Amino acid sequence: MSYYFTILSPTDVPLFNLAFGTSKSGGDGIARFRFPDTAQYMNQFIIHSSLDIVEEAQWMNSNMYLKHIDTYPPASSYISAFLTPSGARFLLLHQPPQLPSTTDRTGSGGTGTGSSSLLASSFSGGVGSTRASSSSVAANPTSPQTEEAVRQFMTEVYENYVKTVMSPFYRQGMEIKSPVFRGKVSAAGRKWL
Amino acid sequence: MTSPGDATPVRPPPSFSPGVPRGASKTRYPDERRNSSTPSLDPDLVESRVGSSSPTPPLSATTSELPIRSASPYARSLRSSTPQLARSSLGSPVEGRLDAAEDIRSLIIRSFSPVVGVYASVDTDDLVRQKGFKGGFWELIRPFGENVPGKVVIRDSIGSSRPWEDFGVRFVDLGGSSPTLYDSNTARTSPLAQVEEVLEKQLKSANDPLSGSVRPNDLLNFPSTSPLYKDYLRQLLSIASATPHETFRHPVASIIVISSRNTSPLESLRQLYADTSNGDRRLPEWIHPEYLRYYVLVHDEDQDDIAESTKLYDQMKRHFGLHCHLLRLRSNQCVVTDDDSVQVPECEWLSPAERLSNKSEPLVDLDTDGLPYLFESDVMAIKGFIRELVAQSVIPHMENRVAVWNDQVASRRRGISGRFMSMSRRWAGFGSSSRSSFTSGGGVSGNYDGAHGFYKPDTPEAILRKMADFAFMLRDWKLSASTYELLRSDYGNDKAWKYHAGAHEMCAVSMLLNPLAMPAKTKREDVDQMIETACYSYLTRCSDGPDGLRCLTLALELLKARGGSAIESATRWAMRAIDLGLVGPVGQGLLSDRISVCYASRNAIPGVRWGTRRRKAGMWSVLAADLWLRLGMPALASASLEEAERLYADVLEGDGVFLMPDMQTFIDNLRHAVKVEYLEARGLDTSDETIIADPLGTEETSEQLDKRMNRRSLIASPLDSAGLIAAQVTRDDDNPADDDFERA
């Protein structure tokens, strides 16, 4: 499972970005997205497009944690969202790992660079992988266990976020550059995801 | 398309008892008979038909120069492209959208038209060949059957009748050398590949700046349905040939034709009939053998005596009853310069294979698009003939069959005892007294011939399927949906997977087509489930790509037409079609554009700003632009990109710059690449030089144009435009740490 975590200001300005991989079940914590290296912009496109759903879901739901709100099937990317009282949005994109067969296809199509290989990375692969390893918590993005783990992660990040933005050197809407915060988020990712 | 005004039933409720003689149905249309019993049609009917027969796609006047504008460097900030917003408000947008939805719906409905077989005697085909139609009588009447002139009144199962403007029948050749009815196995490539090939050819010819008659902008005309996509859909829907698992392509009727030149007319009619019923022209055994026969006598106006023909026609009527027609045609060939020459309309429903074989020839003469001409009197006669055939024979026949089968087969299944029977059949493995052949295994009816993969046409399962298909073609979707519903589990029990898939697909489609069944949430989940099942059965169990894609596309279009939250489902199916690899590169581009259109059509919840899907729509447009560019079609790419800018313009605050750095880089690069490609493609066209030179102005990037001969990948190599990079750096340099981390 690979993760891409973003904090967006109420006006959609990205305040913080972090990509990481799972540390559970022997993962090394390095993100391996299905896109080739040249197409990493897709994560941002997917996150950006899911803001449509966030805007809708935030009025329908009284909780801060909005749970899994959106899916992008071509890359089997799942988006979970968390809303802070100040209007900042935490968005977590998670993507289950690919089956070897589809990896091969992406590799061969990798010379084409970009989203055709991305589109070709098949949904059936995603289904297969979730089915194959649905017993492990992190591999199935829609299971209740995953929801719970993401919720824990979000809550911990939120705590740290509050501490960070209360820093006297931080103005609202500024990008969060604090290495401490970054470290804390990575630690939360290692701990829960 | 259709007149939704539901007329009160004027005619007395029909007697559904099967004992009613067939001929009685003739008298049910007293008013229509007055209009059309004579071969020449009521003139204003024809006029309205002719007047509406050339639908030119609406084209907003501004589109011709749009790609250049979007590609101009001045349009870097999205907000600066405000003039484009004006385009959507040129014609009232709401009206256009409704039109488009109705259009697609009509297209889908018309694609499921009854099929009428044509079997002409040799002398008739000779007569018609003399007129310049190589394919014989079938080719002559084929284009006219696709739209029956005037309104056709169809009565549904509860007795209310409804006029339809767009009814048509499909003629297939039963006798000729090319068996068009069932030739799916002989094709060398898969139909989907053929569709792709046709599209590519079409795009190539449109892309070629020298041919110039059709601009790509005409093909991809946002925001309504692009003609290119409509064409794609049409081809997809016309792939189907006759198969056991659905009866849409099985002939509902067949017309047997002789001409006045025949020396022994009645004998040859008998011979033709024998050929089709048990001779060498017999249909495969999975087609129900009892279909309507219709006898036509073609009279040669130029050579033969009308008195003789009338005498013969009277004799025919005495022999064969009322399903006869005397068609008066001239045997001389008509040329353009004749006074009353009328061009034969183009066939709308050509299968991809036919399109491929047709496309190769007409490179020679560009003015006449290869379509032959006919005398106006001939056209009138043919139209009158087809109207009479459809309104007085085919439709009454189908209505009658539906009523009979509904009475005899379906109602028995629907009733409480029928339910019990099917239950006991399923659970206990006994109790179906009506079935003599009964194999072991609970729930298997034994009617399914597993070795050959079809039900015999006289088994209840096959008859019910045929009845449901008839009801579907008669546009009685309520009845068809309930009948498919009955069949779904039966086919599943028998493990007749293709039938199973077909019943699920058509059940979902008829539910979606039924205007009265409102999309309650549970209903839509049912529909989604059915499409899911159909898709799985088609693709995994039967590996039938074309039908699977047809199912997904129908779901996409019909759910899109529903609007609201059904849009989400619609896009899901479209993405599924892309994911499963059912579409080629061109289809992928078209579907990506279509997904964007779907998302864009989702309106905001009244009173608040949220609820739209603008960002998603924009993303898919960008992806489509990327795909088009990779296919080497910069004009289409620039159209998609421009659409993306229009969609994003509402979302992006301030100066229209994407706040996410990677996205901005990607879009900048894409925009640049599109511009370069577009100008390269147009470089040959000297007439447009002035337009090109204008937006370029003093921009330094223009000097790259002649150096680069082939397109460079826009993502791998960051374009070396100093301005772009500089702008990028200034925007990026405040978060270098992030980038480093991501690359790690």
Closest CB to B579: pick one of A40, A49, A73: A73
Q: Which of the residues A119, A129, A176 would you substitute to probe the B interface, choosing the one with the greatest number of B C-beta atoms within 10 Å?
A: A119
Instruction: Determine the average pLDDT of the residues in B102-122.
Output: 88
A153 pLDDT band (50/70/90 cuts)? very high
* pLDDT of res. B706: 39
Say what percent of chain B tops pLDDT 70.
65
Residue B247 neighbours by CB under 8 Å, 6+ apart: B287, B288, B465, B466, B469, B470
Q: Which of the residues A5, A20, A52 would you substitute to probe the B interface, choosing the one with the greatest number of B C-beta atoms within 10 Å?
A: A52
pLDDT at B731 over 90: no
Say what percent of chain B tops pLDDT 90.
10
pLDDT at B373 over 60: yes
* Token pair 């099967």 in the structure block, residue: B18
Q: Does A123 touch chain B (CB under 8 A)?
A: yes
The whole-angstrom separation of Cα B451 and Cα B492 is: 16
Give residue ranges of B with CB < 8 Å to any A CB: 572, 575-576, 578-581, 585, 588, 608-616, 618-619, 622-623, 626-627, 630, 653, 658-663, 665-666, 713-716, 734-735, 737-738, 741-742, 744
Query: How far off is chain B from A104, nearest CA to CA, in Å?
Result: 15
CB contact under 8 A, B741 and A124: no
Which range, of B84-88, B173-177, B297-301, averages the lowest pLDDT?
Answer: B84-88
Residues of B in contact with A41 (CB under 8 A): 662-663, 665-666
Which range, of A29-33, B256-260, B444-448, B471-475, averages the lowest pLDDT?
Answer: B444-448
The whole-angstrom separation of Cα A31 and Cα B743 is: 10
* pLDDT of res. B68: 39
* pLDDT of res. B211: 37
pLDDT at B53 over 80: no
Query: What is the average pLDDT score of chain B?
Result: 71
A59, with CB counted inside 10 A (0-12, 13-18, 19+), is exposed
Instruction: Determine the average pLDDT of the residues in A88-92.
Output: 92
Instruction: Determine the average pLDDT of the residues in B514-520.
Output: 67
Instruction: Determine the average pLDDT of the residues in B36-60.
Output: 39
Amino acid at residue number B79: R
Q: Does A177 touch chain B (CB under 8 A)?
A: yes
A186 pLDDT band (50/70/90 cuts)? very high
* Residue B410 tokens, joined: 């379906």
Report pLDDT digits (tens) over A76-88: 889 999 999 988 9
- Which residue of A lies nearest to B605 if distances are taken between CA atoms? A56
pTM of the predicted model as reported, rounded to 2 decimal places = 0.73
Closest CB to A73: pick one of B572, B619, B630: B572
CB contact under 8 A, B660 and A48: yes
CB contact under 8 A, A175 and B581: no
Greater pLDDT, B366 or B590: B590
* pLDDT of res. B188: 54
Provide the 3-class DSSP secondary structure of residue B62.
helix
Tell me which residue of B329, B406, B336 sits closest to B368, measured CA to CA.
B336
Say what percent of chain A tops pLDDT 90.
23
Greater pLDDT, B364 or A189: A189
Report pLDDT digits (tens) over B553-572: 999 998 888 877 788 889 98
CB contact under 8 A, A52 and B614: yes
The whole-angstrom separation of Cα B529 and Cα B508 is: 9
CB contact under 8 A, A116 and B619: no
Report pLDDT digits (tens) over B123-182: 888 888 888 888 788 888 888 888 888 888 998 888 888 888 888 899 988 865 444 455
* pLDDT of res. B294: 92
Listing from the earlier edge strand, what are the strands of the sheet with B170-173? B170-173, B115-120, B251-259, B292-300, B324-329
Greater pLDDT, B560 or B360: B560
Greater pLDDT, A169 or B85: A169
B473 pLDDT band (50/70/90 cuts)? very high
The whole-angstrom separation of Cα B469 and Cα A44 is: 47
Q: Which of the residues A115, A117, A123, A178 would you substitute to probe the B interface, choosing the one with the greatest number of B C-beta atoms within 10 Å?
A: A115
Instruction: Determine the average pLDDT of the residues in B459-476.
Output: 90
* pLDDT of res. A139: 63
Domain ranges across chain A: 2-192
User: How many Cβ pairs closer than 8 A exist between chain A and B?
Assistant: 106
Report pLDDT digits (tens) over B384-401: 999 999 998 999 999 999
Which range, of A15-19, B336-340, B639-643, averages the lowest pLDDT?
Answer: B336-340
Which range, of B133-147, B456-470, B650-664, averages the lowest pLDDT?
Answer: B650-664
B518 pLDDT band (50/70/90 cuts)? low
Greater pLDDT, B430 or B540: B540
Q: Which of the residues A5, A32, A41 would you substitute to probe the B interface, choosing the one with the greatest number of B C-beta atoms within 10 Å?
A: A41
Neighbours of B4 (CB within 10 A): 8
- Phi and psi at B103, nearest 5°, equal -60, -50
- Which residue of A lies nearest to B602 if distances are taken between CA atoms? A52
Tell me which residue of B173, B167, B174, B171 sits closest to B387, measured CA to CA.
B167
pLDDT at B35 over 60: no
CB contact under 8 A, A175 and B735: yes
Report pLDDT digits (tens) over B582-628: 888 888 889 999 999 888 888 777 777 777 888 889 999 999 999 98
* pLDDT of res. B717: 39
CB contact under 8 A, B614 and A46: no
* pLDDT of res. B332: 83
Residue A121 neighbours by CB under 8 Å, 6+ apart: A34, A74, A75, A98, A102, A105, A106
CB contact under 8 A, B575 and A48: no
* pLDDT of res. B7: 41
Provide the 3-class DSSP secondary structure of residue A7.
strand
* pLDDT of res. B74: 39
CB contact at 8 A, B646 and B665: no
Query: How far off is chain B from A82, nearest CA to CA, in Å?
Result: 18
* pLDDT of res. B32: 40
Strand B170-173 and strand B115-120: the pairing is parallel
For the domain A2-192, what is the CATH code? Answer: 3.30.450.70
- Which residue of A lies nearest to B737 if distances are taken between CA atoms? A177
Q: How far is CA B392 from CA B130, B138, B251, B321, B696, in A?
A: 30, 20, 17, 13, 65
Query: How far off is chain A from B621, nearest CA to CA, in Å?
Result: 12
Residues of B in contact with A39 (CB under 8 A): 715
Report pLDDT digits (tens) over B525-542: 888 899 999 999 888 888
Report pLDDT digits (tens) over A107-142: 333 333 333 333 333 333 333 343 444 444 456 777
pLDDT at B658 over 70: yes
Q: Does A101 touch chain B (CB under 8 A)?
A: no
Specify which of A60-74, B4-18, B355-369 reaches the highest per-range mean pLDDT: A60-74
B361 pLDDT band (50/70/90 cuts)? very low
CB contact under 8 A, A47 and B653: no
The whole-angstrom separation of Cα B146 and Cα B618 is: 38
Query: How far off is chain A from B739, nearest CA to CA, in Å?
Result: 9
CB contact under 8 A, A52 and B663: no
**Within a 13 Å sphere around the CA of A172, how many CA atoms are in the beta-carbon half?**
7
- Which residue of A lies nearest to B536 if distances are taken between CA atoms? A124
Greater pLDDT, A102 or A143: A143
Residues of A in contact with B662 (CB under 8 A): 40-41, 43-44
pLDDT at B113 over 80: yes
- Which residue of A lies nearest to B626 if distances are taken between CA atoms? A115
Which range, of A148-152, B249-253, B692-696, averages the lowest pLDDT?
Answer: B692-696
Provide the 3-class DSSP secondary structure of residue B31.
helix
* pLDDT of res. A79: 92
Q: Does A108 touch chain B (CB under 8 A)?
A: no
Which range, of A130-139, B18-27, B190-199, averages the lowest pLDDT?
Answer: B18-27
Neighbours of B353 (CB within 10 A): 23
Instruction: Determine the average pLDDT of the residues in B334-349.
Output: 80
